[in-house]
Copies of this chain bind each other. A is one copy, B any other.
């Protein structure tokens, strides 16, 4: 749940964006279901309970991630459209003030008043380009891609499910939660490392460092969940 929980500004297009979404969903899906299952393994005696809880988490997490991501993408789109309408209205109704705002963008980079005026004069000739400029350079808003948001949410949600099933699969083929935990940990740590490596490659980060980070987050979360669940289970 780490990567897209943060406001990274990474631009990837086409298949690269698709691959990034897969890796994000899968690496995130590996972490929390793995940690939840590990936590329960120290506290309950039945694999069926670990599996049921893990499945419930995967369903909940993928819906929160997928549906939440989709709705957030729509909100972003609405926000962009309303700002766009506002900019068009402002360019129409208070052009002098808008010209002042363009000048301000360049004043901070030390451009002369003469050059500022020249820029504004030429920019204001084409209303659409002027508004485009304001959207991007005054407000810092890029046109969101609606299909991208929807596809991205679906890809991440599905990858979260697949990622989550990896740590959980160990509990299907073992007899006790303890056995399940051992296999699950080995399998998941390997996958976290591979996904961390791959994810860092795709996002242009040092791959080994990235792989270690992703793996450490997973191990820390699982160890903490294990300890806290054990303590709670003793108290209850």
Q: Are B69 and A2 in contact, CB atoms less than 8 angstroms apart?
A: yes
On whether the beta carbons of B5 and A217 are closer than 8 Å, the reply is no
Determine the distance from Cα of A78 to Cα of B206 in the docked complex, in whole angstroms: 11
B63 touches A36 (CB 8 A): no
Q: Is the CB of B109 within 8 A of A133?
A: yes
Whether A1 sits at the interface, judged by CB under 8 Å, is yes
What CA separation (Å) do A210 and B74 show in the bound complex?
Answer: 11
Q: Which of A152-203 contact B (CB under 8 A)?
A: 156
Query: Are A205 and B79 within 8 A (Cβ)?
Result: yes
Q: State how many residues of chain A have any CB contact under 8 Å with chain B.
A: 84
A51 & B236 in contact (Cβ 8 Å cutoff) = yes
Residues in chain B near residue A68, CB distance under 8 A: 1-3, 5-6, 31, 217
Selected contact of A5 from candidates B4, B44, B132, CB within 8 Å: B4
A199 CB, min distance to chain B CBs, angstroms: 11
Pick from B39, B71, B109, B122: contact of A111, CB under 8 Å? B122
**A217 and B63 within 8 A (CB):** yes
Task: Encode contact with B along A5-27: 1 for CB under 8 Å, 0 otherwise.
Answer: 11111110000000000000000
Whole-angstrom distance from the CB of A164 to the nearest CB of chain B?
12
B115 touching A2 by the CB < 8 A rule? no
Q: Which of A77-132 contact B (CB under 8 A)?
A: 78-79, 106, 109-112, 115, 118-119, 122-123, 125-126, 129-130, 132
Q: Is the CB of A60 within 8 A of B221?
A: yes
A7 touches B7 (CB 8 A): yes
The answer to whether A60 touches B35 (Cβ under 8 A) is: yes
Bound-state CA distance A36–B225 (Å) is 15
Which 9 residue pairs are nearest across A and B when measured between Cβ atoms?
A2-B68, A39-B56, A35-B60, A6-B72, A63-B221, A56-B225, A56-B229, A48-B236, A53-B53
16 inter-chain pairs at a CB distance below 8 angstroms, sorted by A residue, are: A3-B68, A5-B68, A8-B76, A9-B9, A32-B64, A38-B56, A39-B59, A43-B52, A43-B56, A52-B232, A59-B224, A60-B224, A63-B217, A109-B123, A109-B126, A115-B119
